[in-house]
Amino acid sequence: MHNTCEDSLLAVPLIIDLAILCEICERIKVRQVGAADDTFERFHSVLSLLSYLLKAPLVPDNTPVVNALAAQRQVGVIFFISCIDVLSVQDKGQV
């Protein structure tokens, strides 16, 4: 009898994607336009951006939860497009 743990094999690409997204989000720093100081901040330690790959997303307190897969995907797409070129995303009215 041969026992193969297929669930673990299916989860490997998701775990790799989670690790890559965590690393990218760790490297990005943001600041508000027109803020009083010019200091850049890291994202909150709970990365709601990762909810696209997770069944039950964890978000910071008092943050609305979006469980719609298409909406979560669109947030990720717009986020990474804006990291490349903020002005073109704003010009297209996507943000």
Has this prediction a pTM greater than 0.85?
no
Structure tokens, 58: 């964890």
Q: What's residue 28's pLDDT?
A: 84
Average pLDDT over residues 12-20: 87
Q: Is the C-alpha dihedral spanning 69, 75, 79, 80 positive or negative?
A: positive
Q: Could you tell me the fold of the domain covering 6-91?
A: Glyceraldehyde-3-phosphate dehydrogenase-like fold (3.30.2360)
pLDDT at 27 over 60: yes
- pLDDT tens digit sequence for 37-89: 878 888 776 677 777 777 766 677 787 776 777 888 888 888 888 888 765 55
More confident residue, 21 or 36: 21
Looking at residue 63, what is its pLDDT?
A: 74
